[in-house]
Amino acid sequence: MDRDRFIQLSATIRVLEKKLLTKADLDRLVESRDLDEALRLLGDTVYQREIAKLERPQDYEIALKHEKLRFLEEIIGYTPDRRIVDLVALKYYYHNIKVIVKEEITGDDLSSLYIEFGDFNLARLREEIATGKQISQVDNYFEVAHATYESYKETHDAQLIDIEIDKIYFNKLKKLSQDLKLDFVTEYIEDLVDFSNIKTVLRCQKQGRDIEFFKKAIIDGGNIPKEKLAEYFNQKIDGNSNLFKTTKFYKTIKPGIEYFNETGSLAKYEKLRDNYFIDRIKETKKLTYGPEIVMAYIIAKEIEVKNLRIILVSKLNGLSSSFIRERLRDSYV
C-alpha cells in the first residue's frame, strides 16, 4: 500500500480527532442530573445535529446511530483506499445479514435493527432471501445469508447463525489484512480473533456446550492455536490460565476473567478488551501519516459512541454515576 496516498487524509483526521469527546467531556455527562441534561450537554458537540432532530429524549439511540453512520460515510468519501474503512465497517454488513436471516426465520419485522450505509444493498438482499433467488452477482452476501438459512433449517440452532456468519466475517477481515500487508492491521485482526475465541470458550463452558459445538464456534487466525483452545475447553479458566498467559493482553484481561468466574458476566472482560484496543490505537499518534491513523480514528469514534450509549441508557434508567464509571471505556483523547 502506498502510504503517501494518506498524507492529506491523515491531516484531515488530525483535525477531526479534536472533535472527539475528552475524558472531561465524558465526566460532565456522567455527572449530569438526568437524560435531558446529558443531551443538552451534547448540544455543544458534533452530536448536536442529530440530537436536535429527536422527537423524544428517549430516542437518543437514533441520534447515536445516525452520527456513527454519518462519520463512516464521511471517511469513505475521503479515503483513497476503501479497504481501510472496511476493516471496521464490514461488521455492520455482516450484522445486517444476521438480521435478515433471523427475520426470515421468525417472520418478525426487524427493520429497526438494520444499519444501512455504504454500498450494502439491503433491499435487494432481503428480496433475494425472501424469494430464494439471487438477483445480482456484485457480492457474495446472498450466498452467505442463504447458506446460513439452510443450515438453520437443518439444525434449528439459532446460535449457529451468529457463529457461521462471524466465521465468514473474520475470514473476510483476514483476507483484507493479507492484502494490505500492514503490521498494525495484522496484529489488530489477530488480537480481535483471540479475544473472540477466549470469550467463546467462556460462553460455551457456561452454557454447557459440548466440544463439537465449541469446535464449530472457534475462529481461525489468532495467535492462540485452535488446538490449545480445545485443550483447555474442559478446564476451568482463571486469571492465571496458561491459555492466554503468553499473549500481549494477558495482564489486561486477567481481571475480566476473574470477574467472569465470580459473576458469570462478560461485561468487565469486554470493557478491558476495548481499553486494550484504545491503548493500541494511541500508538498511531506517533505517526505523521498513514492508513493506521484512519483506522485508529474509526475505532476511537466507535468506542466513543459506545460510551455515550452506556451513559445515556444509564441516565434513562436513573443509575448512579459510580455505576456508569465502572462501565465506561477509556477515551482516545
Q: How far apart are CA 1 and CA 182, in angstroms?
A: 8
pLDDT by residue (tens digit) across 173-203?
A: 999 999 999 999 999 999 999 999 999 999 9
Position 315 pLDDT exceeds 90: yes
Q: CB under 8 Å to 81, separation ≥6 — which residues?
A: 1, 5, 6, 291
Mean pLDDT rounded to a whole number for the chain:
93
| pLDDT tens for each residue of 281-310 | 999 999 999 999 999 999 999 999 999 999
| pLDDT tens digit sequence for 83-129 | 999 998 899 999 999 999 999 999 999 988 998 887 888 889 989 98
Query: So what's the pLDDT on residue 132?
Result: 87
Are 245 and 187 within 8 A, CB to CB?
no
Q: pLDDT at residue 9 above 90?
A: yes
Q: For position 138, what pLDDT does the model report?
A: 82
Rounded CA-CA distance 215/200 in Å is: 10
57 pLDDT more than 80:
yes
**Whether residue 166 has pLDDT greater than 90:** yes
Please, which residues have CB within 8 angstroms of residue 27's CB and are 6 or more apart in sequence?
none
Write out the three cell numbers for 226.
485452535
Higher pLDDT, 239 or 293: 293
Residue 112's pLDDT is what?
87
The residue count for the chain:
333
pLDDT in the model for residue 1 = 78
Residue with the larger pLDDT of the pair 11 and 122: 11
Q: Which are the contacts of 252, defined by CB distance < 8 A and separation ≥ 6?
A: 272, 273, 275, 276
pLDDT tens digits, 128-145: 988 888 998 888 899 999
Residue 159 pLDDT > 90:
no
CB 266 within 8 Å of CB 156: no
